């Protein structure tokens, strides 16, 4: 009727028609072409075709439903999903992918992925190592894994770990594109590199480092660095699994040790100056510092001990004390040492027995 009244062609109009025999609707594709008599402006007749496209309509709706389901799966996936055609243009990207790259879907789909998110220096490598082998069928396994940096909308670089495969091939056997799943591993890589750097720093430091297990009994050593081996003379395999108290030798009740024990009991940092012994039995003075290490739940799992060999400092300190209390020429105790001993004697006498006096030259002591 439209074509008859308007004189215009009606093309590909889909109409739903109720079929009483089937008690259901059929979908009809209608096309109408008006015909005119010579010199007439109104059509004299209309040729109309009716094509039953019910099966096609149902198949299309089913395909759309399956596509929507597939898109839902892609959108809830915790990884980026990216489909590229053979030229590298984006055919599909899921919600996680858009979150990583920082663009809206209409800013990505149809754009060339390499121009949009890959640096110029990386593009040639990726085409040569990943996409050309996939598209040409050179890669027999069907999946290529790799990592590369992308650049998001704000200019930030993100490291993506990819698994890539080809999309279905056409009738000539050519791949129509690639499908890739990508995981953002930027933070993980930074953490690994930071841990590696810290490990190198611990290995390189001149201070001895030991780590003990705070969860298992006896606070056993789990790690020592090369400086610990150099200071103590013990190899790592000789001390792993032992309690660090073997370094005190027979001097297990040094007063300073109580500071360390208290710090460990209270899960806090602590320090003490201890007499320790090397593997060969020689003494060294250890300026020890300990600190707790907590897990993500705040539970103390380990202790780190820093060993600082201050033996040279202690020798120098003792030398200064000796020089301050002995005559340079004779080596005999001088007035400073005598006064110190006298103070001790007076304190002792006040507690246990009386004394008379001592002259300024400390020549005599006369008991009553």
**DSSP per-residue codes, 287-345:** EEEEEEEE-TTS-EEEEEEEE-B-HHHHHHHHHHHHHHHB-TTT--B-HHHHHHHHHHH
Q: Phi first, then psi: what are they for 116, rounded to 5°?
A: -80, -45
112 and 182, same domain (yes or no): yes
CA 16-17-21 angle, 5° bins: 140
Domain region containing 137: 77-189
- Out of 189, 223, 253, pick the residue that ends a domain: 189
DSSP string, 43-59: EEEEEEEEEE-HHHHHH
Q: Are strands 300-307 and 80-85 parallel, antiparallel or unpaired?
A: unpaired
Q: Are residues 147 and 56 in the same domain?
A: no
178 membership: H or E segment, kind and range: strand 177-184
- Residue 321 within a domain: no
The domain that contains 175 carries what CATH number?
3.30.450.20
Beta strands in 214-344 (DSSP E): 221-224, 270-277, 283-294, 300-307
91 lies in the same domain as 181: yes
Residue 3 buriedness (CB in 10 A; 0-12 / 13-18 / 19+): buried
Whether the Cβ atoms of residue 216 and residue 234 lie closer than 8 Å to each other: no
Q: How far is CA 62 from CA 14, 66, 92, in A?
A: 17, 6, 20
197 found inside a domain: no
Q: Are residues 209 and 299 in the same domain?
A: yes
Helix, strand or coil, per DSSP, at residue 79? coil
Q: Residue 325 corresponds to which tokens in the numbers above?
A: 């209390």
| Shared-domain flag, residues 228 and 304 | yes
- Report pLDDT for 61: 74
> What is the Cβ-side half-sphere exposure of residue 342, based on CA atoms within 13 angstroms?
18
Q: For residues 90 and 130, state if they share a domain.
A: yes
Among the candidates 20, 37, 61, a domain finishes at 61
Same domain, 216 and 280: yes
Residues 92 and 184 in one domain: yes
Note the pLDDT of residue 75: 65
Residue 320 falls inside a structural domain: no
Assigned domain for 35 exists? yes
Answer whether residue 199 is part of any domain: no
Total domains in the fold of the chain: 4
Beta-carbon count within 10 A of 192 CB: 11
Q: Does residue 131 sit in the same domain as residue 44?
A: no
d(CA 349, CA 342): 10
Taking the C-alpha atoms of residue 144 and residue 131, their distance in angstroms, rounded to an integer, is 9
Q: What is the DSSP string of 87-119?
A: TSBEEEE-HHHHHHHT--HHHHTTSBHHHHHS-
Q: Within a domain: residue 70?
A: no
Q: In sequence order, which ranges of 128-278 are alpha helices (DSSP H)? A: 132-136, 186-204, 226-232, 236-239, 257-265
The predicted pLDDT at position 328 comes to 60
At residue 199, the pLDDT reads 82
d(CA 260, CA 288): 9
User: Token pair of 230, please?
Assistant: 């150099």
Residue 308 and residue 339 share a domain: no
Count the helices and strands in the chain (H runs, E runs): 13, 13
pLDDT of residue 366: 43
Pick from 143, 164, 189: which residue ends a domain? Answer: 189
Structure confidence at residue 368 (pLDDT) = 45
pLDDT of residue 360: 46
* Whole-number pLDDT of residue 309: 93
My answer on whether 9 and 95 are in the same domain is no
- Look-up of token digits 């008859």: 4
| Cβ neighbours of 184 (radius 10 Å) | 19
The answer to whether position 106 is within a domain reads yes
27 phi, psi to nearest 5 deg: -100, 125
Same domain, 154 and 177: yes
Of residues 31, 34, 35, 33, the one with CA closest to residue 49: 31
Instruction: Classify residue 10: in a domain, yes or no.
Output: yes
- 10-residue stretch averages of pLDDT, the chain, 368 residues long: 66 81 81 80 79 80 68 69 92 92 95 95 90 78 85 94 82 79 91 84 88 92 95 96 94 92 94 95 95 92 94 76 59 59 62 51 45
């Amino acid at each position: 009727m439209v074509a008859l009244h308007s004189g215009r062609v009606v093309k590909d109009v889909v109409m739903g028609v109720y079929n009483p025999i089937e008690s259901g609707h059929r979908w009809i594709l209608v096309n109408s072409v008006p015909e005119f008599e010579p010199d007439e402006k109104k059509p004299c007749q209309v040729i109309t075709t009716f094509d039953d496209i019910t099966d096609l309509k149902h198949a299309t709706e089913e395909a759309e439903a399956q596509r929507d389901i597939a898109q839902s799966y892609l959108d809830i996936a915790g990884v980026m999903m990216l489909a590229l055609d053979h030229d590298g243009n984006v055919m599909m990207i899921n919600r996680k992918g858009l979150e990583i790259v920082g663009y809206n879907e209409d800013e990505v789909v149809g754009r060339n992925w390499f121009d949009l998110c890959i640096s110029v220096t990386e593009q040639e490598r990726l085409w040569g190592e990943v996409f050309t082998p996939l598209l040409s069928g050179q890669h027999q396994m069907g999946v290529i894994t790799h990592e590369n940096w992308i650049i998001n909308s704000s200019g930030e670089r993100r490291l993506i770990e990819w698994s890539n495969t080809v999309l279905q091939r056409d009738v000539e056997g050519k791949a129509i594109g690639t499908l890739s799943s990508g995981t953002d591993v930027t933070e993980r890589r930074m953490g690994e590199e930071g841990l590696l750097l810290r490990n190198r720093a611990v290995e390189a430091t001149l201070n001895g480092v030991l780590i003990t297990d705070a969860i298992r009994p006896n606070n056993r050593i789990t790690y020592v660095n090369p400086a610990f081996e150099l200071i103590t003379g013990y190899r790592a395999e000789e001390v792993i699994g032992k309690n660090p108290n073997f370094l005190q030798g027979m001097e297990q009740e040094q007063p300073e040790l109580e500071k360390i024990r208290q710090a460990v009991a209270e899960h806090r940092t602590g320090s003490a100056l201890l007499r320790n012994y090397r593997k060969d039995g020689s003494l060294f003075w250890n300026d020890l510092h300990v600190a707790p290490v907590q897990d993500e739940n705040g539970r103390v799992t380990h202790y780190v001990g820093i060993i600082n060999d201050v033996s040279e400092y202690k020798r120098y300190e003792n030398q200064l004390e000796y020089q301050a209390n002995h005559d340079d020429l004779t080596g005999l105790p001088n007035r400073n040492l005598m006064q110190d001993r006298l103070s001790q004697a007076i304190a002792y006498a006040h507690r246990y027995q009386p004394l008379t006096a001592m002259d300024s030259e400390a020549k005599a002591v006369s008991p009553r």
